[in-house]
Every structure is written in C-alpha cells, then in structure tokens.
Amino acid sequence: MLENVKVILVGTSHPGNIGSAARAMKVMGLTEMVLVAPQCQVDEQTRSLASGAADVAQNAVVVETLEEAIEDCVLVVGSSARSRTLEWPMLEPRECGKKFVEEGQKGKVAIVFGRERTGLTNEELQMCHFHVCIPANPEYSSLNLAMAVQTISYEIRVAFLDWQTSAYPQSEQEAYPRNKELEMFYQHLEKVLYSTQFISKDKPNLVMNKFRRLFSRARLEQQELNMLRGVLTAIEKSTSNDDKSN
C-alpha cells in the first residue's frame, strides 16, 4: 500500500529541502517523490541532506504541472493552513493517514506540499479532494517543508501499521475515479453550463469553484461520475435537437 503513496513537492526552490523531504519519506517507508516545476536541481546538497535516502530524491519524477502529477490518483490531499477565503473539506493529519491507507489499497494517492514561502495557490488547492492542516502551536506555527513531510508521512505509517495489526478492518469501498477523469468531468460540466447559459463567460470561475468544492466534499465514486457524465451528454443531445427543430 505504501508504494501507492505519492509525495508531491510543488515549486521547491532549495535543493536541500528536496533531500530532507526524501529522508523524511524513506524513514516512514515512502519512496515515490514527484517534483512539480522545481526551481532547483537535485545536486550534492540534496544528496548530502538526504543521507541514506538519496535514491528517493534521485529517482523523483519531474513534471511541469500539478495536473500531470495527480492525473492517475484516486485521492489527492493538499497540505495547507486553514483559510477563510477558500473553504474546502478539511482533514486532520490522523484522519489523512487513515484515509490514505483505506484508499491507497485500490489506487494511487497523493499528498501535495507547496512552495517554501508561499505554499500552494488557490488553483492548485482546488485540484485536491481534501486539505490537511497540521495543528501546530498558533503562537509559533512555522514548519519547514521537511517537517511537514515528516509529520504527514508519520501519520500515514502509523495508520498503515494499525491496519496491519487489524486495529480497524479494511473497508469495502466503491472504486473512485482518477483525477484525470474528474478533470474531464469538470470540463464537460463547464461546457454544458455555458451552452445552457447557466453561467456566463465573464465570471465562469466563481460557479465552477463552487461545483468543485461540492463534488470534492461528496467524493464521487466511479459509477456516480459515469451517471453524471451520462446526464450531461443527454442534456447536450436534447439542446441540440431543440436547435434543429427551431
């Protein structure tokens, strides 16, 4: 199951942070690192701070966009401070670990960490099903990248060990769609909403962001997503026939 966990670092600017994150991962049994548009190279400083985990950093997959990094994932969780401007389904770190173990047995799951100084953008956070917030001391909540990776990786490992010793049974779950399929659904939905004049082109993101939040909270299963795509297709056929009759 741990082999299905991706640790995704977005826009990392310091090579040492990649090495330290790799060390934090390997200590907890995680090995798949993905670098999204890194602002630095894996170099000697990376390998030095990785210590015995240099292989994790050197084998990291490098991609240009977060969308590409998560397209094969059934669960994506973004690490974020709680925000009043972007309400999104939230997980505590312990909940996050358990959910990774449950869903990671059926497909790829990803935890996403943002840039050292600015974190993840709102657009990137909206690509995630959930956000996770580490409940640090509110008077001094400064966590560096490796610390955050270590904390979440630890919770994933604890949940995995609990599952191994049957602290909680494996739950029967329906299959969840991969993120690539979800994005195709959102594109289809937006197209239909335009054609039915439900949304206007001057403010499309406002409505679509609310739909993304709604469906992230609902956690659509594959069968449910297929049903919704069928509904959208039926609407398209109906409106097309109406246009022809007119």
pLDDT value, residue 131 = 95
92, 106, 114, 116, 171 from 53: Cα distances, Å: 27, 27, 21, 21, 33
DSSP 37-63: S-SS---HHHHHHHGGGHHHHHT-EEE
100 falls within a domain: yes
% of residues, the chain, pLDDT over 70: 91
- More confident of the two residues 203 and 178: 178
Q: How many domains does the chain have?
A: 2
Q: Tell which wins on pLDDT, 246 or 165.
A: 165
Position 102 scores a pLDDT of: 92
115-166 pLDDT per residue, tens:
999 999 999 999 999 999 999 998 988 899 999 999 999 999 999 999 988 6
Query: Pick from 134, 167, 200: which residue ends a domain?
Result: 167
Q: Residue 55 belongs to what domain range?
A: 2-167
> Do 208 and 153 share a domain, yes or no?
no
Give the pLDDT confidence of 203-232 residue by residue, as tens digits: 767 888 889 889 988 889 999 999 999 999
Question: Does the structure show a pLDDT above 80 at 84?
Answer: no
Q: For residue 58, what pLDDT is reported?
A: 97
- Asked if residue 183 and residue 157 are part of one domain, the reply reads no
Residue 241: the pLDDT is 73
Q: CA torsion sign, 12 to 14 to 19 to 25?
A: negative
Task: Look at residues 102, 135, 167 and tell me which one is the last residue of a structural domain.
Answer: 167
Calpha distance 82→125 (Å, rounded):
12
Count of beta carbons in the 10 Å neighbourhood of residue 20:
24
Nearest CA among 125, 234, 220 for reference residue 188:
234
Q: Are 221 and 150 in the same domain?
A: no
Question: Which of 167, 199, 233 is the endpoint of a domain?
Answer: 167
Tell whether 218 is covered by a domain: yes
pLDDT digits (tens, 9 = 90+) for 189-198: 999 998 888 8
Q: Give the mean pLDDT of the chain.
A: 91
